[in-house]
Amino acid sequence: MASYEGLDRRVRELIEARYKEFEQDVQHRQGLAERHSKLQNERVKRRHDFMAAIGTDMKKLDAAVENENRTLEAELAAFLKEFRPQAVDRAPLTAATAKDAAIRMAVLAEAGHPILPVFASSIYTADKSIFAHVAGIKEWNDSIGTGWVLPDNPARILVWMIGHNPGAVCGLWDYHWVPSPFGVTFAFVPPVTATYEMTAVIAFHGFYILKSDDGLFTCRDASVKLTAQMNAHQYADTAWTDFTLLDIEKENADEITNYDRTHFLDVRADLRKGDPVVVTVKGAVDARAHGGGAYAELNFHDGTANYIEPLFLSVQQV
C-alpha cells in the first residue's frame, strides 16, 4: 500500500513537470508576441499611409480616434466603479454548496462509490506578483517571471484574469495573453485491477465582465473563457479529456454576470491494483479585450463569494 509520503512525492513531481510545460508555453507566447507586435506596427503604418494617399486629413483622424478612445475609457471606468463592487461583495454561497455536496456524497456512498477529498491544488502564473500574497508553498523563475503556488488550503483556489488592451488594432489578436492555469489533484490506490470511472466534482463561484462598443473609427471585442482538462496517471498519463465550461465572445456588450456552477468532469482508465493513481484536473481562466473602452474579466478571486472549490472525486469500477 502506498504511503502518504509516497503519494505526496508523486503528486509534487507531476505538478513540477506540468509547470515546466507551462514555462515552455509562456516562452512560446513571448516569441509570438514579439513577432505579432512587429506585424501590428507594419499594418498600422500601411493603413495610415493609404488613408493619407487618398486625401484623408490624418491629423484630424488621429485626433478623432484618440478622443473616441478617451471617451470610451472614461465610460469604462465609470461602469466598473458603479457595478463591479456588487459582484465582488455579493453574499457567498458556502452553505448551499456544502449542503449540495453532502447530499451527493451520501448518495454515492450508499451506492458503494469511494469518495475522495482533494489531495492538492496548484496555480501557475506568468506574472508572479499576482499570487505573491497567496499562502502556500511557492517557487518562482525570475528569469521569465513565471511561478507556481501550492495553496495551503487546496479546497479553495483563487484565480482571475483581466483583459484590457486599448491600443489593439482591428483584425489582429494579441498573443501576449497567458491564461491563468490551476490544477486540482486527487490520489488513491485501486483495490483491484479493473476499468475505473473517476468523476471530479468542482464548484465554481465567480463573475465575468464584458464591456465593448464599436466606435466610429475602431472595432472592439471582449471575451471570457473557462476550460478544463482531466486525466489519470498511474505509470504514465492517459490521454487528456477536454472540457469547455464557459466561452463567450461579444463585439458589443455591457454586462456583469455571476457564474455559479458545479461541474462534473469524468475520465475512464484501466488501472492496476496496489499502485498509486494521481487524477488531475487542469483548468485555465482567460479574458481578452481589444480597443479603447473594451474590457473583459473572469474572476474567481475577489471578495468572499468568488473562488473555485474542488468538492470531491467519485471513483467506481465500470
pLDDT of 310 over the 90 cut? yes
pLDDT in tens, 19-41: 888 888 888 877 777 777 777 77
**Residue 139 confidence (pLDDT) above 80:** no
Contacts of residue 223, Cβ cutoff 8 Å, sequence gap at least 6:
163, 210, 247, 248, 249, 250, 286, 287, 288, 289, 296
The pLDDT score that the predictor gives to residue 170 is 53
Burial readout 113-123 (b: 16 or more C-beta within 10 A, e: otherwise): bbbeebbbbbb
pTM over 0.75: yes
The pLDDT tens digits for 100-118 are: 999 989 988 888 888 999 9
| C-alpha distances in Å from residue 266, one per residue of 62, 197, 200, 240, 257 | 53, 7, 6, 11, 27
Task: Write the single-letter amino acid at 165.
Answer: N
* CA–CA distance, 242 with 245 (Å, rounded to integer): 10
172 band by pLDDT with thresholds 50, 70 and 90:
very low
* pLDDT above 90: percentage of residues in the chain: 45
State which residues form the domain around 244: 4-317
What CA–CA distances, in Å, run from 300 to 37, 183, 206, 253, 296?
Answer: 30, 14, 5, 21, 14
Euclidean distance between CA atoms 311 and 117, whole angstroms: 7
Higher pLDDT, 84 or 181: 84
pLDDT of residue 218: 63
Question: How confident is residue 208, by pLDDT bands cut at 50, 70 and 90?
Answer: very high
Per-residue pLDDT reduced to its tens digit, 43-74: 778 877 887 888 877 788 778 778 878 888 89
pLDDT tens column, 245-286: 999 998 788 899 999 999 999 999 999 999 999 999 999 999
Confidence band (pLDDT; 50, 70, 90) for 215? low
Q: CB of 316 within 8 A of CB of 196?
A: yes
Q: Closest by alpha carbon to 290, among 72, 84, 143, 85?
A: 72
Q: Per-residue confidence at 77, pLDDT binned at 50, 70, 90? A: very high
What's the pLDDT at 217?
57
- The count of domains in the chain is 1
Q: What confidence tier does 177 reach under pLDDT thresholds 50, 70, 90?
A: low
Residue 34, all three cell numbers:
514579439
Phi-psi region of 162 (alpha: psi -120 to 50; beta: other; left: phi over 0): beta
DSSP-derived 3-state class of residue 149: strand
| pLDDT for res 175 | 46
Average pLDDT over residues 187-213: 94
Averaged confidence pLDDT in the chain: 86
pLDDT for the residue 171: 46
Neighbours of 169 (CB within 10 A): 16
Distance of CA 48 to the CA centre of its chain: 37
Cell digits for 163?
A: 483583459
pLDDT for res 112? 84
Average pLDDT over residues 176-202: 89
pLDDT on residue 183: 94
